[in-house]
């Protein structure tokens, strides 16, 4: 059975500060909170909280699927990848990223838009899983980020027995 991890591509979006995180929550707690809700994390090249992310991953109670853009890659990420506790993928220009309707090589990372349409989400999820290896991550793309879409995808994966 394939393991699918779900998360948001733009986890540092200002829109999440008002719609997802408690306004009273300190900024350095947000990564831990997000890891309690999702098991996939996208690290962009311009993320200022990389040290916090690395620290939270060291203490995470479960495995996390981490996508790190090439511009954010450092020896610390390589060490985390080498430790084999979490799945860490270095995203380069050559790394295939699956998208609905696009033809690409087999991809371990996928992006879908936010959607309220269960049929679209089911179709995208099924198509991604059909081409994915044993362990992969699907991220909801777009600004503002849609936590609701991640939740819908999680429900679908549970209903599909994943």
48-94 pLDDT tens trace = 999 999 999 998 989 999 999 999 999 999 999 999 999 999 999 99
Task: Give the helix/strand (H/E) hosting 41.
Answer: strand 40-43
pLDDT value at residue 103: 75
Q: What is the pLDDT of residues 99-124, one digit of tens each?
A: 999 877 789 999 999 999 999 999 99
> Which residue's entry shows tokens 């979490």?
86
pLDDT tops 70 at residue 156: yes
- The first and second tokens of residue 129, run together, are 């899983």
Q: Cβ(153)–Cβ(121) under 8 Å?
A: yes
pLDDT value at residue 1: 59
- Note the pTM of the prediction, 2 decimals: 0.93
pLDDT value at residue 134: 87
User: Taking Cα atoms as reference points, which of 12, 78, 81, 19 lies closest to residue 49?
Assistant: 12
């Amino acid at each position: 059975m394939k393991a699918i991890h779900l998360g948001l591509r733009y986890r540092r979006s200002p829109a999440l500060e008002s719609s997802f995180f408690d306004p009273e929550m300190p900024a350095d707690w947000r990564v831990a909170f997000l890891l309690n809700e999702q098991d996939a994390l996208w690290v962009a090249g311009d993320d200022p909280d990389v040290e916090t992310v690395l620290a939270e991953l060291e203490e995470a109670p479960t495995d996390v699927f981490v996508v790190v853009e090439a511009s954010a890659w450092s020896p610390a990420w390589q060490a985390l990848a080498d430790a084999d506790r979490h799945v860490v993928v270095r995203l380069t220009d050559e790394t295939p990223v699956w998208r609905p309707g696009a033809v690409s090589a087999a991809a371990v990372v996928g992006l879908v838009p936010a959607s309220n349409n269960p049929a679209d989400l089911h179709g995208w999820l099924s198509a991604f899983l059909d081409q994915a290896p044993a362990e992969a991550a699907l991220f909801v793309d777009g600004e503002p980020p849609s936590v609701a879409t991640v939740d819908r995808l999680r429900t679908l994966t549970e209903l599909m027995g994943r």
